[in-house]
Amino acid sequence: MNRAAFTTLALLFLAVLATRGWGAVSVQSRLSPEQVNIGDEVSVTYTISNGQVDDFQLPAIDGVTVEGSSTSAQIVMSGLSVSQNFSHTFLLVANRAGNVIIPALELKDSSNGAIIKTHAMVLHVLGVATSPPAQAPSMAPPAPQSPGASGPVVMPPGANDADNSQAASPDSGGGGVPVPTDPDGEPARVFDQITPQTTTAYVGESVPLRIESYIRADANAQQDSLPALTGSDFLMNNLSLRPTEEGVSAGSIEYIRDSWLTAISAPRAGDFPLQATRDTYWTKSETPSMPDDPFGPLFGRRSQLMHKDILSNKLVMHILPLPEEGKPASFTGAIGKFQVSGNATPGTVEVGDPVTIRFTVTGTGNFDYVHAPALASDPAWKSYVATSKITYQDESHTQAMKTFEQAVIPQKGGALKLPDATFSYFDPEAKRYITVPVSLPVINVTGSAAPAPAIAGASSSSDPSVASAAPAAPAPASFAPNQLSLGWLVPDLTPAYKRTWFWVVQGALGLVIVIGLVLSAIGPRRDPARDQSALRHASLRREHEAMTQAAQAGDAVAFFTAARHAVQLQLAERWHVPSESLNLAAITSRDPALGEVVAPLFAQADDVIYSGRAPAGLDLNEWDRRTREMLQPIRT
């Protein structure tokens, strides 16, 4: 790169810094790992972006001891934004079992005095004494305890497995995770770690289990499969397809950790080994074949795909049988700690109408075995199978809220107490069965026998007006009897509109309409002679009407004008000539006999029209009759 180019890039960088500046102050806190044994180390890292806290110290925290701290700084460029991060890491050691709260902190930014707030975090410290009771049969040799751990028996990979080439390593300096070594003596490229909440449990109890898969940051490995348990001694809940992925330090080695939280349960009593496995693929880099090749570091490496099943640490789980003594009749296998409540709606119903009881069970345990609280047998109520719905509240599916809806139907009237409901479960901490009564309200039931349900067209039975209008003692509900005729048979229930013929008929009718509309729009071919004739017919109708009206009104001029014109029109239609050309001479020349017939009419018409008045004694009605008689032979 020449000097000019370097100078240009430097100026650009400065320009970006000048224009963008530093981003807003923020802080991220991280706890790694989130679950350890007593005596294990855990690191807490606070990463402050675009801010700085001098002399950052953790306050005293109950449950952990601060063993050391370190601070680092780096500048991060993301696109055009630049930020400066300060990381403060504290090394803690857990000194008691249980949940340890790392409190929220308020830090003061040294540069501008602003207050930076962190979130609280919870560290789960295992180590509760869980020595198996005397009655638990031991089916496996006792497993070696991990140093400092009195709870889960954490065994390093390969400790009890001659086939596992990964040797156990005492190195557990990285956040409490024991890092095994590969055959070459290096820290393992890939290893898995399982941590159950306890190693002693009862048959059917759900035990939360954390599964962690570590891949060394420089191992260039890839894992796409989900871990699974070896053997068939335990049932495991489904794992989420996307694990929680984060970078962690184990000793001085950086790892990428995938972690899942699930739960396991054992179907039978005894001591059983617990171990997870995961298919692993990774590429192993080789040195360049030509050491002098300047491009070797970039292109000369040969990658080799390798495959191996990675086994986790191995534990022994002590599974105890549930005691037979004191087992309630309503116990369905629920183990854990549960709270139960119930209600019922509606508060007032008619005899025969359903009441819905809703039970809610919350808590921690094996919710697959949590069934609806048992209802005591009560002749006043008829009960039906409950339906359920579950909402899980944690990733391991051991904390949840399960709701049940159960319909019951009153068989008689009055203020009826709902049947007694009880819920039984086994508390593994108290080591005894617990039966919880569920209080349910009293239901006001009207009527004394099951009424007939609403008939189609009537209001529904929930309508108060129907209830008040119902007879005091309605007949018990019964099915309407069978019908004695076959009725109108159809080959199947498919609606007509789903059949091809229906749409063929629609199309044909539509086509007919379209063709008709087209033909109407085009219309008949125009014929001038036909049009002339139509006009003459119309004129003839008008003259007939004028004759009638004039005769009735005694208007001789109008009458004879119309009568003469009617004769001309009729003859014009007959001879296909213009009506104006047909005077008496023309008519006589064409048909002398007809000329004699119409001559009196034409003469009288001329006389009346030219004189403008009618002669005395002229009978227009008589002339009207004679004219129509005159027109008849002309028409034929």
Partner 1 sequence: MKSIGLLLLLILTAGRTACADTASDALDAANQAYTAGRYEEAARGFQELIQAHGYSASLCFNLANAEAKAGHPGLAILNYERARYLAPGDAEIDHNLQLARQQAGLKSNSLRWWQVALRSLSLNTWLAIVDVWLALIALAVLAHVFVRRLEPGPRRAALGKVVKTVLFVAIPCFLFTSYIALLAAPLRIEGVVVSKQAVLRLSPFDSAERIGTLPEGELVTVEQQHDRYLRIEARDGRYGWTTRPTLEPVIAGTF
By the rule CB under 8 A, 471 interacts with partner 1: no
Q: Is 65 in the site for partner 1 (CB under 8 A)?
A: no
Judge if the upstream peptide bond of residue 187 is cis by omega within 30 degrees of 0.
no
The encoded tokens of residue 52 equal: 């700085």
**Does residue 505 touch partner 1 according to CB under 8 A?**
yes
By C-beta, is 180 or 410 nearer to partner 1? Answer: 410
Residue given tokens 């609403």 in the structure block: 454
Q: How far is CA 410 from CA 342, 460, 467, in A?
A: 18, 18, 16
Q: Which is nearer to partner 1, 294 or 528 (CB)?
A: 528
Nearer to partner 1, 147 or 510 (CB): 510
- Helix axis angle, 556-575 relative to 528-553, nearest 10°? 160
CB atoms within 10 A of CB 407: 14
Does 504 bind partner 1 (CB under 8 A)? Our answer is no
**430 lines the binding site for partner 1 (CB under 8 A):** no
CA distance 166 to 180: 6
Q: Which is nearer to partner 1, 154 or 351 (CB)?
A: 351
- 512 part of the interface to partner 1, by CB under 8 A: yes
Q: Determine the residue type at 410.
A: P
| 354 is an interface residue for partner 1 by CB under 8 A | yes
Listed in order, strand segments (DSSP E) in 41-152 are 41-49, 64-78, 81-94, 98-102, 106-108, 115-117, 121-126
CB of 361 to partner 1, least distance (A): 14
- Indicate whether 384 belongs to the interface with partner 1 (CB under 8 A): yes
3-state secondary structure of 345: strand
Question: Would you say 344 and 383 are in contact if contact means Cβ atoms under 8 Å apart?
Answer: no
Sign of CA dihedral 603, 608, 611, 615: positive
**492 binds partner 1 per the rule CB under 8 A:** yes
Does the protein bind partner 1 through residue 491 (CB under 8 A)? Answer: yes
Let me know: does 146 contact 154? Beta carbons within 8 Å.
yes
The full DSSP string for 537-566 is: HHHHHHHHHHHHHHHHHT-HHHHHHHHHHH
User: Which ranges of 494-635 would DSSP assign to H, the alpha helix?
Assistant: 500-522, 528-553, 556-575, 584-590, 592-611, 620-635
From 29-37, 117-125, 457-465, 568-576, give the range in contact with partner 1 by CB under 8 A. 457-465
Instruction: Choose one: 21-29, 145-153, 199-207, 476-484; the region binding partner 1 (CB under 8 A).
Output: 476-484
In this complex, which beta carbon is closest to partner 1, that of residue 383 or of residue 604?
383
Site stretch for partner 1 (CB under 8 A), options 27-35, 192-200, 243-251, 388-396: 388-396
Residue selected from 390, 436, 449, 597 as contacting partner 1 according to rule CB under 8 A:
390
Which residue stretch of 79-87, 117-125, 300-308, 492-500 sits at the interface with partner 1 (rule: CB under 8 A)?
492-500
Residue 295 in the binding site for partner 1 (CB under 8 A): no
**Do residues 309 and 251 make contact, with C-beta atoms less than 8 angstroms apart?**
no
Contacting residue, 99, 485, 500, 632, with partner 1 by CB under 8 A: 485
Q: Tokens 């009759």 appear where? A: 625
Among 21, 247, 516, 554, which residue interacts with partner 1 (rule: CB under 8 A)? 516
Q: Which of 10, 11, 475, 496 contacts partner 1 by CB under 8 A?
A: 496
User: By CB under 8 A, is residue 479 in contact with partner 1?
Assistant: yes
Among 75, 163, 377, 488, binds partner 1 (CB under 8 A): 488
537 makes contact with partner 1 (CB under 8 A): yes
- Joined together, the tokens standing for residue 142 give 């006792």
Place of tokens 């023309």: 586
Nearest partner of 188 among 219, 147, 153, 228, judged by Cα: 219
Report the residue number, 368 or 607, with the smaller CB distance to partner 1.
Answer: 368
Beta bridge partners of 255: 216, 248
For the chain, the residue count is 636
Rounded to the nearest whole angstrom, what is the least distance from the CB of residue 621 to partner 1 in the complex? 25
Each residue 265-294 as x (binds partner 1 by CB under 8 A) or -, in order, gives ------------------------------
- Work out whether 228 is an interface residue with partner 1 (CB under 8 A): no
Residue 460 within binding range of partner 1, rule CB under 8 A: yes
Binding site for partner 1 (CB under 8 A): 238, 352-354, 384-385, 387-390, 407-409, 452-458, 460-462, 477-497, 502, 505-506, 509-510, 512-513, 516-517, 519-520, 523-524, 534, 537-538
